[in-house]
Structure 1
Amino acid sequence: TTWQEDGGPFITLPLVYTENPLTKKHNLGIYRLQVYDSHSTGLHWQIQKGGGFHYQEAEAQGKPLPVTVFLGGPPALILAAIAPLPEDVPELVLASLLAGEKLRMTGNPLGGHRLAAEAEFALVGFAPPNERRSEGPFGDHYGYYSLQHAYPVFHVESVFHRPDAIYPATVVGKPRQEDFIIGDYLQRLLSPLFPLVMPGVRDLWTYGETGFHSLAAAVVRERYGREALVSGFRILGEGQLSLTKFLILTDTPQDLPDFPKLFEHMLARVRWETDLFVFSNVSMDTLDYTSGEVNEGSKAIMLGLGQPVRDLPREFRGELPRDVVYAEVFCGGCLVIQGVPYEREPEQAGRLAREPIFSEWPLIVLHDDVEVARSASLFLWATWTRFEPAADIYAAQTSIERHHLSYHGPIVIDARTKPGFPAELVVRDDVSAMVDKRWREYFPRGL
């Protein structure tokens, strides 16, 4: 196990290879495997995953899906498995392009899928139709435990390995971990392709601090009024980007990874009445529990186009309302407030939106701890992994105009921890001490 509350041992860096039963097009993805016994594991196929779509096709035919899991191999193979490619774009081809040479494959002497010749291990088996087992909990890259749910089962029939094979693994948890670095690298690597696939999108960035799917920002074309929304809907219809929870759109070139600067740019331009769109009752990333449901929730698009429409406040002055412990500025126009626990006052966010003392602030974010305002990484993680647009956005006033819900600022985001949220990943003191001790045993001279 990696985290103390994990449901059991997991294979954390499996390269899961499957083929579509109808088209024979392949998918290679990293889907964690919970080890049940010496011959079976769980297969964590979340929604919008290529391997899961293949399994769905096989299950509809009442047939088992052949599955091959590679452990280790060329770094290009691992990167290709992680890359968020459109469905049916072959990951093995990307691996060859990244490596600068054709990926070496070899036949399986027992028949079935070919094997990656340089993999350390290859687990060969199948996932039968209509079989599910409880999988999880697992300390995941959102920084919380993903909970127990029923997933397909992988039955291992044979194992191949290199001489003196090395078992690969990774650790995920609260950002930043290894997956964060890999994700950022892949974004920079693949970013030139975005305008080719989505011509209206000039630049795109997803924020690893939020688990990638919780927040994305894009620079898009605005050659006529509201063209930006065309690109927004295009992004939300593209592969794994369709799982994006909150999408920020601007028409002015920006350094998107510099979030505080981007956010100031947006807050100076957004017209809440017409530029904030919330879509309820849509699919949401499996690992995001903010809606209280699995795979269901809401999304939002925020526009910040053209010239500024306001000067941003940068310092808070005045007396704080009751039950507000602290207030601290995150960036121009965004004030972080430390309130009371959600269980004590669930309606605090709505009340704060109507407080006259905050009327000059475009955005207020209600947190359990104001300390999140002092770090962009912490602000991103604690805000976007703890709120759901349809449930946790409040305004001083709302009205319906032409079937559009029109918000009148200030806007308040309630990012406090809510009942039912999974537990945050925290390293126990005894575990930390044991790791430090063993680390010195393994690496007495350091790395």
Structure 2
Amino acid sequence: MSVKDLFSFIKLLKKENELVEIKTLVDPTLEIAEIHRNVAKQNGPALLFTKVKNSKFPVVTNLFGSERRLELALPFAFDTWSENMLTLLQKPSLKSLFSHRKQLYPLFKMGTKKRLFAPVLQQKIDPVDLDQLPLLKLWEDDGGHFLTLPIVHTQYDNISNLGMYRMQRFSKNTMGLHCQIGKGGGFHYHKYEKLNQNMPVHVFLGGHPALILASIMPLPENVSELIFASLLMQKKLNVYRNTPILCDAEFCLKGFVRPKLREMEGPFGDHYGFYSLKHPYPVFECTHIFHKKNAIYPATVVGKPRQEDFYIGVLLQKLLKPLIKFVMPSITDLYSYPETGFHPLAAAVVKERYKKEVYTTAFRILGEGQLSLTKCLILIDEPLDLSNFKAVLEYLLARINFHEDLFIFSNVPLDSLDYNTQTLNVGSKLVLCGLGKPIRTLETHENLPKFIKTASFFCKGCLVVEIENETSLEHLKRIQAFVMIVVVDNVQEACQNQESFLWIVFLRIDPAKDVHLPIENTKHHKLYYAPPLILDARLKPHLPKIVASNAEIEQKVKANWDHYFEKQETHLGR
């Protein structure tokens, strides 16, 4: 079955037993999100809520919450597509072009196609009333109700951008537009502000799944998400006449953002598993709301990994890998860890074709688009499976030279959602390199000092500990038997699996403040460190709250669970 829009994708998911309809009346305030989270924990299906309180529009969630559903969303095999694209980019000879002619065919379909009719314009909410849309409130302390899958279109000087920025409903016709640092929509707004002009904005909900994926994808600044979406669709993208309106979207919100006008947006339980706090963001003033006949409202639920965005992020990395290898030839593999929410930790397999090229590669990665928001970067030279973090860390720890292969950069741009630093959008970065032959044997013995309350090994060479007080932190520097020591609040929780370790450790450190090392020497403005590498990954008082479900809603969902899923072919237990 061919996918052309959200409705046809839902139809396909239902045919493939990948979607369940919930016909019980549900509340968009907390209840839908709680049902979604419980289903997601079980790797369950997409959910179509057909009766939503205070709205005539059905809500669909968890569309991309599995590899299988992502495979159904796009008309090609991911791995084959990526390798074919890499071959074409690297070796564009006549022979390779001919041998890959079937893969090349979709390239001739790339672009947009003007249409005289747009289904998304079939109906209109007049006067404008955003309260009629079933926006979700995901977590108890969220500041309100949010669009969580908006495809935001902006344009400046004939360069268009699609981005996905959450939007908080302020009133019947205004919303906060959460344009984070380093995003295309934010760059456009900056330019309009300099001209003191309103920025036109179109917000789309739904459409072909490729549109949603392309709007999330961290493409280079001047690469069009519209063109990339059509490449993923393997056909042209329908737009209405000479406008940016996407014909096959479910909803189109048309409006503008005024220059130099911001209102406090948030809090919001974000994909790091913490609340992002209130901050001033641009205000979207909605002038028109259009929608298809029988439109369906798409949404996602974010929170502590693993959520739906985990699967989306892994897929996007696969799709982008050929482009990354092409623009950065010294890289053979690159992986941002979804367990951390992506930006806090990445690892790369690199070539060192001349001495110290690894540092050039590190700066290249940290200077490229959204990769520039990476907080901790590990570089190795062995083609390991980067998703296996224990293997990567052991390889690094056996080879890292503390005099030369560890760098901490302070006062640099950082992801807006990372609150380990107490300055918005500014923090620090840690770069660790492990190349060549091993220079040490990694220890796993447990002859530990008494001031360590509890300890366990995450992997060879990496000891995870609980300590009694701050004095103990300094004492850890004397334990040179271990290359890396991680201080946590709860060793058992941190070491239960890779997912827990990565989320706890890399979501709770600011390298400039929380990385501790013995310093052997200072020369030519360079610090010469010695092991052990100590990471203080305890919760700090300034960090926002970790998201948690509302107890009353939890009980309500538990009590109604069988009722939600009665008469369904797909059975879900709790």
Which category of TM-score, normalised to the shorter sequence, fits these structures?
over 0.9
Q: 1:7: Cα distance to partner?
A: 0.4
Q: 1:439: Cα distance to partner?
A: 4.5
CA–CA distance in structure 2, aligned partners of residues 117 and 306 of structure 1? 54
* Structure 1 alignment gaps of length 5 or more: none
CA contact (8 A) 1:325 1:338 kept: yes
CA contact (8 A) 1:387 1:415 kept: yes
Match of 1:353 among 470, 477, 498: 477
CA–CA distance in structure 1, aligned partners of residues 331 and 461 of structure 2? 26
SS of 1:115 mapped into structure 2: coil
**2:207 equivalent in structure 1:** 73
CA contact (8 A) 1:337 1:366 kept: yes
CA–CA distance in structure 2, aligned partners of residues 276 and 40 of structure 1? 47
* Structure 2 alignment gaps of length 5 or more: 1-136
CA–CA distance in structure 2, aligned partners of residues 366 and 164 of structure 1? 54
Match of 1:369 among 477, 485, 490: 490
What is the identity, as a one-letter code, of the residue corresponding to 1:435?
Answer: V
Match of 2:463 among 330, 335, 339: 335
**1:248 equivalent in structure 2:** 378
What is the Cα-based RMSD across aligned positions, in Å?
1.3
TM-score, normalising length: structure 2: 0.74
Match of 1:380 among 502, 505, 520: 502
Number of matched residues? 432
SS of 2:280 mapped into structure 1: strand
The 5 A counterparts of 1:80-119 are: 80-107=214-241, 113-119=243-249
Listed one character per residue, the Cα deviations across residues 101-149 of structure 1 (whole Å, up to 9, x for unaligned) are 11111248xxxx4211111100000000111000000000011000000
The 5 A counterparts of 1:11-22 are: 11-20=147-156
> Residues 120, 302 of structure 1: CA spacing in aligned structure 2 closer, same or farther, 3 A cutoff?
same
Tell me if 1:172 matches 2:302. Answer: yes
CA–CA distance in structure 2, aligned partners of residues 433 and 122 of structure 1? 36
Tell me if 1:39 matches 2:173. Answer: yes
**2:391 equivalent in structure 1:** 261
> Residues 315, 107 of structure 1: CA spacing in aligned structure 2 closer, same or farther, 3 A cutoff?
farther
Sequence identity percentage = 48
What is the identity, as a one-letter code, of the residue corresponding to 1:364?
Answer: I
Stretches of 4+ aligned residues off by more than 6 angstroms: none
> Residues 19, 347 of structure 1: CA spacing in aligned structure 2 closer, same or farther, 3 A cutoff?
farther
SS of 1:116 mapped into structure 2: coil
TM-score, normalising length: structure 1: 0.94
> Residues 277, 319 of structure 1: CA spacing in aligned structure 2 closer, same or farther, 3 A cutoff?
closer
The 5 A counterparts of 1:29-428 are: 29-107=163-241, 113-316=243-446, 318-322=447-451, 324-340=452-468, 345-354=469-478, 358-371=479-492, 372-428=494-550
> Residues 395, 2 of structure 1: CA spacing in aligned structure 2 closer, same or farther, 3 A cutoff?
same
Q: 1:24: Cα distance to partner?
A: 1.6
CA–CA distance in structure 1, aligned partners of residues 358 and 515 of structure 2? 22
**Structure number having the greater helix percentage:** 2
SS of 1:204 mapped into structure 2: strand
Q: 1:321: Cα distance to partner?
A: 2.8
Listed one character per residue, the Cα deviations across residues 179-219 of structure 1 (whole Å, up to 9, x for unaligned) are 11100011112112211111111110000111101001001
Q: Report which structure shows greater RCO (CA 8 Å, sep ≥6).
A: 2
CA–CA distance in structure 2, aligned partners of residues 18 and 96 of structure 1? 18
CA contact (8 A) 2:514 2:537 kept: yes
SS of 1:124 mapped into structure 2: strand
> Residues 350, 398 of structure 1: CA spacing in aligned structure 2 closer, same or farther, 3 A cutoff?
farther
CA contact (8 A) 2:257 2:283 kept: yes
